Amino acid sequence: MLNHATFIWQAADILRGTFKQHQYGDVILPFTVLFRLDAVLTPTKEAVLEALATTDPDADPSPAMLRNRAGHQYSFFNRSVHGLHTLRGDPDNLEQNMRDYVTGFSANVRDIFEQYKFEDTISDLAQHDLLLQVLLHFGKADLHPKHVSNEKMGHIFEELIRKFAEASNETAGEHFTPREVIDLMVTVLLNNDEDLRTPGVIRSVYDPTAGTGGMLSIADDKIKDFNSTAQVNLLGQELNPESYAICKADMVVKEQPISNIVLGNTLTDPAFENDTFHYCLSNPPFGVDWKQSRKAVEAEHTIAGFNGRFGPGLPRVSDGSLLFLMHLISKMREPQPNSPNSAAGRGAIVLNGSPLFTGGAGSGESNIRKWVLDNDYLEAIIGLPTDMFYNTGISTYVWILSKDKEQRRRGKVQLIDATGMFIKMRKSVGSKRKQLSAENITEIARRYDDFTESRHSKIFAAEDFFYRTITVERPLKLSFSLTPEHIAKALSSKAVAKLEDSELASLREALERYLKTPYAGSVISRDPFTAQLRQLVNDAGLKLTPAVFRKLVDEFGEQDDDGELVTGRGGKPEPSISLRDTENVPWDQDIHEYLEREVKPFVPDAWIDESKTKEGAEIPFTRHFYEYVPPRPLEEIDRDLDEVLGHIRARLEQVKA
């Protein structure tokens, strides 16, 4: 795998000096795709040309006709008389013949090279006399499927993308997921599909963030391992044109319909809008904002509501991970009993830690989590080791989803701690230093399948992750005084801002004059203070409206547990904003009993403002697997310190000597 990728990347030596580093991939990647497709077509090239000779030269013939007449198994063809290994025989017309060859592909494949702006690449290479050198270099690599399987080809593309990303200072991990992580996701998804071995069973696999197609490819291989007669339909959408082109080329070689891979933004312009699928897989970008998609996403949330994808809520705009989670769930098939080809949809998505707990009760993130749990879509969450991905070392989690859980899992969620299951790589690749072995994947899948409590597997009722956030109020008790601090606060308030400059100056003078009296700083209740302030205002010759005067009085008030109780309508105590607090109450506890037990022993005058109570959900994964490790005995620590100090003293004596 790496030998092929390393050899192909050596084409950079030919480009060096003429092209900049960040341009290497724009040449090498499409040439790799081109030679892969050429290798696939070469064995049937002559038969295809013979079949094409009897068709209208201005129209694309039916792929079915080509397959029948030429023994061609693929849904694409090339009608050019040239081939990559024959082009070098006419160096004087190389550029024109190369163009003829690329445009000779059927329309469904030409799109791949259009995404790479390949005609411009041909021109640039020809202009600098590099086209023949590049062709000769690639001609040394045999990329026919007999020698390089689809799985190995996927590895080659990913390694090339990683090298391209390093050369251009981009993030390679945005394009693909480590193969062993995909292997784990697919293994878990397939475990409980009882109908998968049915002869001729049909299964559809969908990835809304397809990248180079790794998830689709591995799912296809594993399903075929279970059942060689299965018909597997692979569908996906990808935003990045280069990754899309690679994915599309890979799917073409797999004999998938070319229209199954779509270029575009899944959030704003979703493909396969009316379709749902048996298996849904995704690794959306971690922590990437959705500002550019905001208008369309908010419109769907507001207008379509729960009839669209984003009815449950919207996460903060800085991280769109949960948007992809809701989209994935919307593409999972609803249960359709008694039909092996219409099994309910299942999904697996890779997310970072943020979607587990970010956002308090009532926030978009919390509402989304609660919706997922309320509808019983979440089967399990698997915590992966750190340093598993090429572009980040952070903790990551695989969410396993289902539209029709098996009976024993209904109303339950399993958390699996696999953070300690890995083998270290001999050589790091970007941020990736660890990987899952085949044994690790088997063990994690076993823990999932066993569905039992253990040190590394916890099972909860969905309601265990719910809570209520209550607002605890305490009465507003105020005392009033005229101090320099209070005066500065009052003079900068909105109430005073409405005064004319001359009125403001008169008020300032009156208040500062009061500071020189023996009564300055005295703490008194509202009524005597109001009378006192009224006298000051009148002495300054000011005529304030009742509303402005009341607000001015309030500016001199300060919360004081020994102050005067402030009441509103009906004599009810007014709440103190400064003393307001919130408490998270577990779902299975009565909020009033909680208040009596946890709050009132410390603040007896507290009460709950039930109008502000919010429902929330979070999944504190790490907390449930935390194991307390007691500190070492003090005697042991003192002994170690004495030993270290002894070494230091001995070194100092050596220096003095």
Residues 347, 353, 356, 359, Cα dihedral to 10°: -130
List 378's β-bridge partners, or say none.
Answer: 401
Q: Are the C-beta atoms of 258 and 251 separated by less than 8 Å?
A: yes
DSSP label at residue 492: T
pLDDT of residue 338: 67
Please state, in angstroms and rounded to a whole number, the distance separating the CA atoms of residues 371 and 206: 22
Question: What is the residue-averaged pLDDT of the chain?
Answer: 89
Q: What is the pLDDT of residues 411-450, one digit of tens each?
A: 999 999 999 999 999 888 778 899 999 999 999 999 999 9
Q: Are the C-beta atoms of 160 and 35 separated by less than 8 Å?
A: no
Please state, in angstroms and rounded to a whole number, the distance separating the CA atoms of residues 467 and 402: 24
Whole-number percent of the chain with pLDDT over 70: 96
- Find the helix or strand (DSSP H, E) in which 12 lies: helix 12-15
Specify burial of residue 522 (Cβ count, 10 A radius: 0-12, 13-18, 19+): middle
- 403 versus 493: which is more confidently predicted? 403
User: Going by C-beta distance under 8 Å and a sequence separation of 6 or more, which residues neighbour residue 120?
Assistant: none
pLDDT of residue 172: 42
Inform me whether the pLDDT recorded for 102 exceeds 60: yes
pLDDT of residue 435: 93
List 207's β-bridge partners, or say none.
Answer: 236
DSSP label at residue 600: T
Task: Report which residue type is found at 74.
Answer: Y
Please state, in angstroms and rounded to a whole number, the distance separating the CA atoms of residues 441 and 424: 15
pLDDT of residue 604: 93
- Residue 219 tokens read as 């799912």
Inform me whether the pLDDT recorded for 131 exceeds 70: yes
Please state, in angstroms and rounded to a whole number, the distance separating the CA atoms of residues 181 and 384: 9
Inform me whether the pLDDT recorded for 175 exceeds 60: no
Inform me whether the pLDDT recorded for 522 exceeds 80: no
- 298 versus 635: which is more confidently predicted? 298
- Single out the residue of 195, 189, 249, 199 nearest to residue 222, CA to CA: 189
Q: Are the C-beta atoms of 150 and 213 separated by less than 8 Å?
A: no
Please state, in angstroms and rounded to a whole number, the distance separating the CA atoms of residues 232 and 192: 17
pLDDT of residue 69: 63
Q: What is the pLDDT of residues 329-370, one digit of tens each?
A: 999 999 877 665 568 899 999 999 999 999 999 999 999 999
Helix axes 241-253, 107-115, angle to 10 degrees: 150
pLDDT of residue 168: 61
Please state, in angstroms and rounded to a whole number, the distance separating the CA atoms of residues 617 and 50: 65
Inform me whether the pLDDT recorded for 517 exceeds 80: no
Is 324 strand, coil or helix?
helix
Beta pairing, strands 477-480 & 557-559: antiparallel
Inform me whether the pLDDT recorded for 263 exceeds 60: yes
The distance in angstroms from the start CA to the end CA of the chain is: 62
Is 185 strand, coil or helix?
helix
Q: What is the pLDDT of residues 367-396, one digit of tens each?
A: 999 999 999 999 999 999 999 988 788 999
Task: Report which residue type is found at 320.
Answer: G
Please state, in angstroms and rounded to a whole number, the distance separating the CA atoms of residues 76 and 109: 7
- Residue in this structure with the two tokens 């419109």, named with its chain if needed: 299
Q: Are the C-beta atoms of 215 and 182 separated by less than 8 Å?
A: yes
Any idea which of 214-223, 356-365, 503-512, 640-649 has the lowest mean pLDDT?
Answer: 503-512
Please state, in angstroms and rounded to a whole number, the distance separating the CA atoms of residues 415 and 76: 45
What is the maximal distance between C-alpha atoms in the chain?
113
How many CB atoms are located within 10 Å of the residue 385 CB? 20
pLDDT of residue 266: 96
Please state, in angstroms and rounded to a whole number, the distance separating the CA atoms of residues 164 and 173: 12
DSSP conformation letters of 508-561: HHHHHHHTTSTTTT--B-HHHHHHHHHHHHHHTT----HHHHHHHHHHTEEE-T
Please state, in angstroms and rounded to a whole number, the distance separating the CA atoms of residues 500 and 512: 18
Please state, in angstroms and rounded to a whole number, the distance separating the CA atoms of residues 477 and 376: 47
Q: What is the pLDDT of residues 69-87, one digit of tens each?
A: 656 667 788 888 898 888 8
pLDDT of residue 550: 86
Q: What is the pLDDT of residues 564-593, one digit of tens each?
A: 888 888 888 999 998 999 999 999 999 999
pLDDT of residue 173: 43
- 586 versus 105: which is more confidently predicted? 586
Confidence of residue 1 (pLDDT cuts 50, 70, 90): very low
pLDDT of residue 67: 66
Confidence of residue 197 (pLDDT cuts 50, 70, 90): confident
Please state, in angstroms and rounded to a whole number, the distance separating the CA atoms of residues 617 and 358: 10
Q: What is the pLDDT of residues 219-236, one digit of tens each?
A: 999 999 989 999 999 999
Inform me whether the pLDDT recorded for 170 exceeds 60: no
pLDDT of residue 487: 85
Inform me whether the pLDDT recorded for 45 exceeds 90: no
- Single out the residue of 244, 316, 233, 227 nearest to residue 275, CA to CA: 233
Inform me whether the pLDDT recorded for 57 exceeds 80: no
pLDDT of residue 342: 64
- Find the helix or strand (DSSP H, E) in which 527 lies: helix 526-539
- Residue 126 tokens read as 């020809």
